[in-house]
Amino acid sequence: MLRILFSARVVVLHLLAIGALVVCGLLGRWQLGVFEESGGPRALVDPAPVAVATLTAPGEHITADEAGRRVIAEGTFDASKQLLVAERDGGLWLLTAFDLGDGTYVPVVRGWVATAQDPAVAAVPEGRVTVGGRLQPSEATDSVQRRTRQLPQGQVLTVSSAELINLWRDTKLRNGFVVAAEQSPAPAVAAKPVNVSPPTESGVLTWRNLAYAAQWWIFGLFAVFMWWHFVRDALRGRAQKDAPGPDSGTEPAAPETPALPARTVP
């Protein structure tokens, strides 16, 4: 049997079966990966930045299409209207009101600092500046958490438009806030930028790729079946060839006839 299994013809069958099994397995895994990635988030087209006043207004909520958009704001920072947003990646956000010059303000996250004593906290840029960043919707305020937490003066837990209106009185505040990514002219003492990912959308699972993966694996199993079928036929053919048959040319020996005793004639 070993001579048949390792003959040149059968060894070729072994190699073909192994190659087909590996190729089909890899192709099926590739199609499965495409299927899995299709359900993940996908980055949307990132439009060019627009003026912040075109996307947000006092008393109007920011829509899902507007959230995450790149915006540009021109005006001045109001150092008298600044807060620290606590519990942000182990530090604080610098939140400062930005006067757009049309009687409205928009909250701007100038950056991240490790402590409230960071020099960037007091170094509010002076004069007219241009800020570029991404527009974010107002965060929800957890009233229970706010009542149970005792924060230092000048700190908040969320960037909530409803809360900021009460804290920054006599201010016509636009909804949402801007997370600054760049500023011109550059500040003398800058806080660490806060990274905000561009907007994404949930992908749609491509079931067709899952079906392709199953097909490749079925092809691999079929290759194994055909290998087993051919090897079995080769072994059976060899066994039938080695078995004696009626036409092998060997006749059974005739049985010997016992000798009869000699008769005595009277």
Would strands 70-88 and 200-202 be described as parallel, antiparallel, or unpaired?
Answer: unpaired
pLDDT greater at residue 131 or residue 63 = 131
Q: Provide the pLDDT for residue 257.
A: 56
Q: What is the DSSP letter of 196?
A: -
Place of tokens 């009277």: 266
Task: Looking at the structure, tell me whether residues 94 and 186 fall in a common domain.
Answer: yes
Give percent above pLDDT 90 in the chain: 36
Which is more confidently placed, 229 or 191? 191
Residues 190 and 227 in one domain: no
Asked if residue 149 is part of any domain, the answer here is yes
The pLDDT tens digits for 176-201 are 999 999 999 988 888 899 988 776 66
82 and 194 together in one domain:
yes
Give the confidence band of 146 by pLDDT, cuts at 50, 70, 90.
low
| Same domain for 181 and 225 | no
Q: Are residues 132 and 30 in the same domain?
A: no
Please tell me whether residues 22 and 132 are part of one structural domain. no
What CATH number corresponds to the domain at position 196?
2.40.50
Write down which residue in 155, 175, 202 finishes a domain.
202
Query: Do residues 214 and 196 both lie within one domain?
Result: no
Provide the Cα torsion 29, 32, 36, 38; round to 10°. 120
Residues 77 and 190 in one domain: yes
Q: Are residues 66 and 195 in the same domain?
A: yes
Give the per-residue pLDDT at 169. 86
d(CA 237, CA 165): 92
Q: What per-residue confidence (pLDDT) applies to 72?
A: 95
Alpha-carbon distance values, 67 to 60, 88, 102 (Å):
13, 20, 23
Taking residues 46-67, report their average pLDDT: 88
DSSP lists the bridge partners of residue 201 as 42
Are residues 102 and 228 located together in one domain of the fold? no
251 within domain boundaries = no
Count of domains for the chain? 2
What would the two tokens of residue 235 be? 């072994």
- Asked if residue 217 and residue 123 are part of one domain, the reply reads no
How many whole angstroms separate alpha carbon 156 and alpha carbon 142? 11
Mean pLDDT, rounded, for 100-121? 93
Residue 247 lies in a domain: no
Q: For residue 261, is it within any domain?
A: no
Residue 143 belongs to domain spanning: 50-202
Could you tell me the pLDDT band of residue 264, with boundaries at 50, 70 and 90? Answer: low
Of 202, 221, 246, which one is at a domain's C-terminal end?
202
Average pLDDT of every residue of the chain: 82
Res 101: pLDDT: 92
Q: Which of 187, 202, 217 is the last residue of a domain?
A: 202
pTM: 0.60
In this structure, the answer to whether residues 8 and 98 fall within a common structural domain is no
CB 38 within 8 Å of CB 204: yes
